Amino acid sequence: MAAVVVMGTQWGDEGKGKIVDYLAQQAETVVRYQGGSNAGHTVAVNGEEYKLRLLPSGILYKGTHNVIANGVVVDPEVMLQEMDAMEKRGIDVSGIRLSNRAHVVMPYHRLMDGLGEEARGAGKIGTTKRGIGPCYADKYDRIGIRAEDLVSPEVLKEKLTTVLKLKNDLLTKI
């Protein structure tokens, strides 16, 4: 069982998406293993152009399994919009699998991202303000919300109680 891994140096537009799309044409499974819904990539299949931000490009090829793994930070709103857009174009999205361990971009992540960028002043880093960095920070700080938490109201409430106190303290005291 052979596997091909496409890695970038995290410098943005490196062409990873186009390479993955080329390889996805013959792949059984395409796994997105890191990143978030930032700029994304555009691919052309059968003369049609598709813009993908979260979904693996294997979604464009019938019979390919598509996995969004636990290293990806997922904005549910963006994911659902992208899935709806694909369905409207006749693309079957029923085969997408989302890791229950993937971390979820929450509204406060976008807020923190924008405020952090604004606070940098002239030293801005050019964030997309989509909350990706703050979501990863929460993941590494072990206070993040995972996909599995969204289907367990008791766990979600407990985790949100903790994390929202921390975020509110940051926003009001700092």
Which residue among 41, 103, 113, 149 is the active-site one?
A: 41
Q: Does the annotation count 13 as an active-site position? A: yes
Q: Which residues contact 71 (CB under 8 A, 6 or more apart)?
A: 33, 34, 35, 102
Using an 8 Å Cβ cutoff, are 110 and 129 in contact? yes
Q: How far apart are CA 95 and CA 63, in angstroms?
A: 8
Q: How far apart are CA 36 and CA 117, in angstroms?
A: 18
Tokens 């890191």 identify what position? 34
Q: Does the annotation count 92 as an active-site position? A: no
On the CB side of 95, CA atoms within 13 Å amount to 17
Catalytically active residues are 13, 41
